[in-house]
Every structure is written in structure tokens, then in C-alpha cells.
Amino acid sequence: MNKHKVGKQRIKEIIGEKSENIIKNLEEISPDFANYIIDFAYGDLYSRQGFSDKYRELSAVACLIGQGNTGLPLKAHLNGMLNVGWNKEEIIELLIFLIGYAGFPSCVEAVTILKQIIEERIESS
């Protein structure tokens, strides 16, 4: 299977159905940018052996919060954490733990985003 097909499969496994809209929106702005995400991030990085999807998503969320990136990428990867086996309580423990490293503002924003995600999941079920 080529890297692009693998990447599309992996992003859907991690991010879920919303990944299609994310990629579509990025393709409208820049097909090349979307391809880097599909081919490199998910076709290469998310397809490597030796590290589970649970820990990939934990790492992604911790890094995003640490950098103060609380927008769409954080929402996608918090969703990803839920999709690969983390539960709400575990994610909240992560966010509480990160207060000491990333600070309250980023963690407050992350809790708010997590709340939105959980509400959206309840509404759609």
C-alpha cells in the first residue's frame, strides 16, 4: 500500500470521521499541505512500529498544550485520545498534571475543548 493510502487510513483510525472534513478543508487551501499531513504525519510517523497509538496521542496532546496550541490540532488529538482508548478521567488527569509544566491558561483551554468534544459525542450518539 502506498504512503498516501496508508496515511488516509491511519488518520481516519486516529482522528475518526471528522478527519475527512479536516483534510478536505486543508486541501481547499493547499493540496500540498494536506498531502504532507497525510503522507508524512500519518503515512510515516503514525505508521511506525514500536509505539502504540495511545502513546502517540498522549505525546501529541502534551506537546500541543505545552506549546500553547489549543485550536483545531488540540481538538483533533483530544478526539484521537478518546478514539484510541483513553477515557475522560485519564485525559483530565493528564491535563491536571500538565498544569505544572504548561500552565493554567493552556490547560483551562484544553479542559474547555474536551468538554465540547464530550458534549458533541453525546449529541451525536
Residue 67 sits in a domain whose CATH number is: 1.20.1290.10
Q: Do 84 and 98 fall within a single domain?
A: yes
Q: Do 9 and 56 fall within a single domain?
A: no
pLDDT digit string, tens, across residues 106-117: 999 999 999 999
pTM of the model: 0.93
Q: Do 106 and 79 fall within a single domain?
A: yes
What SS3 string covers the chain? CCHHHHHHHHHHHHHCCHHHHHHHHHHHHCHHHHHHHHHHHHCCHHHCCCCCHHHHHHHHHHHHHHCCCCCHHHHHHHHHHHHCCCCHHHHHHHHHHHHHHHCHHHHHHHHHHHHHHHHHHHHHC
pLDDT digit string, tens, across residues 21-77: 999 999 999 999 999 999 999 999 999 999 999 999 999 999 999 999 989 999 999
Q: Do 41 and 93 fall within a single domain?
A: no
Domain span including residue 71 = 51-125
Q: Do 60 and 40 fall within a single domain?
A: no
Q: Do 10 and 40 fall within a single domain?
A: yes
